[in-house]
Amino acid sequence: MDTSHPILFFDGVCNLCNGSVRFILEHDRRGVLRFASLQSDTAAELLPQYGVDPKALNSVVLYENGRVYTHSDSVLRTFKHMGGPWAYLYYLGVIPRPLRNWVYDFIGRNRYRWFGKREACMLPRPEWEPRFLDER
């Protein structure tokens, strides 16, 4: 498994999560981030080593350099990796983590109701396939 790039694990059946991944793919021009769903074999193999249950589906998880980040920390670090003007959103980290995570959890609890849910994980466009770890 190639862990030389940061890996963003996301809920593959969540429409909000899938839309967010598409947004990141379109704006991460340097192609730094890699992706795998929380339902993937990659998540099942890697995340439990770091105390993260990939079946919980309550947070996107960013794996980077042997560390995992969840909730608002994973989102802020993802923005940082995207570069360009998006990287400045990383500095929202000055907002206290309990407040950031409360907002994150509120959206997370309502995401299926607000944005819907799919029957299966998304299939990436052919040009994006190399950035998805389990879709090759």
Q: Which amino acid is at 2?
A: D
Query: Is 83 within the bounds of a domain?
Result: yes
Percent of the chain with pLDDT over 70: 98
At 1 the three-state DSSP class reads coil
Query: Is 136 within the bounds of a domain?
Result: no
Which pLDDT value is given to residue 120?
72
Number of domains present in the structure of the chain: 1
Q: Output the six-digit token pair for 44.
A: 């099942």
pLDDT, average across residues 129-135: 81
pLDDT one-digit tens code per residue, 74-93: 999 999 999 999 999 999 99
CA–CA gap between residue 39 and residue 18 (Å, rounded):
13
Query: Is 21 within the bounds of a domain?
Result: yes
Percent of the chain with pLDDT over 90: 74
Measuring CA to CA, how many Å separate 132 from each of 16, 70, 96?
Answer: 18, 19, 32
Query: Is 92 within the bounds of a domain?
Result: yes
Which pLDDT value is given to residue 84?
92
Q: Shortest CA distance to 108 belongs to which of 77, 82, 70?
A: 70
Query: Is 47 within the bounds of a domain?
Result: yes
Domain that holds residue 50: 7-131
Query: Is 2 within the bounds of a domain?
Result: no
pLDDT one-digit tens code per residue, 2-52: 778 999 999 988 999 999 999 999 999 889 999 999 999 999 999 999 999
Query: Is 11 within the bounds of a domain?
Result: yes
pLDDT one-digit tens code per residue, 101-117: 999 999 999 999 999 98
CA–CA gap between residue 133 and residue 11 (Å, rounded):
14
CA–CA gap between residue 119 and residue 10 (Å, rounded):
15
Which pLDDT value is given to residue 29?
81
Which pLDDT value is given to residue 121?
73
CA–CA gap between residue 50 and residue 63 (Å, rounded):
9
- Stated pTM of the model: 0.90
Q: How many CA atoms lie less than 13 Å away from 45 in the CB half-sphere?
A: 9
CA–CA gap between residue 19 and residue 14 (Å, rounded):
9
Query: Is 15 within the bounds of a domain?
Result: yes
113 backbone dihedrals φ, ψ, rounded to 5°: -65, -40
Which pLDDT value is given to residue 136?
40
